[in-house]
Amino acid sequence: MRYRFLFLDRDGVINKKIENDYVRTWQNFEFITGSLEAIRGLRGLFDRIFIVTNQRGVGKGVMTELHLKDIHDRMLRQITESAVNIDGIYSCVDIFEESSCRKPNTGMALLAQRDFPEVDFSMSIVVGDSITDMEFGKRLGMKTVFIGTKYRISNELIDIVEGSLFDFYLGLFNDRYKNLLY
């Protein structure tokens, strides 16, 4: 099976996460080393790439939707300068866990599917750095890639563990994932 759709978390996957705080402005945003190169390479392997990101800081009032839009516009500009197109960014600014759009709930993916009806979750991979990202993917029948070293132990929600998005990209070119992805 060829996977066609890629869902990426933002903080901790594309850009450095600020522990116990939020990326509030563009000045706080810093791409993780290799993430732009990984996205460029992944673009050639997937039909659609989406960013799905919980942004509770807006709902809490520590940043505005205008700040979030500015961050995403500038991030997309830099990604586009790397000759890559992202098909959509879906953000959930709600503070309540019950919100249908807040991961691990599936609302952001369903919005992507509404905008791009060809999206088939059984042919999708989600890459994230939290268990809620993994649960989001599993609820939809996606393969899951956990970025980081926090969960090196076995977890039924995680299909693959990698140190970074770039490591995941490189892993697609060797037999490491053969049994999991194909």
Task: Please name the residue that has the structure tokens 């691990």.
Answer: 104
Catalytic status, residue 73: no
pTM of the model: 0.94
Q: List the structure tokens of 2.
A: 């060829």
* Choice among 11, 94, 129, 159 that is catalytic: 11
Catalytic status, residue 87: no
Question: Which carries the bigger pLDDT value, residue 176 or residue 120?
Answer: 120
CATH class label, 5-176? alpha beta
* Choice among 9, 94, 129, 133 that is catalytic: 9
Query: Averaged over 123-144, what is the pLDDT?
Result: 96
Could you tell me which of 77, 71, 65 has the C-alpha nearest to residue 36? 77
pLDDT tens digits, 8-22: 999 999 999 998 899
What is the predicted pLDDT for the residue at 181?
A: 64
Residue 83 region by backbone torsions, left for phi larger than 0, else alpha for psi between -120 and 50, else beta: left
The full set of domain ranges for the chain reads: 5-176
Q: How far apart are CA 81 and CA 156, in angstroms?
A: 38
If pLDDT is split at 50, 70 and 90, which confidence band does 83 have?
confident
What is the predicted pLDDT for the residue at 3?
A: 86
If pLDDT is split at 50, 70 and 90, which confidence band does 144 have?
very high
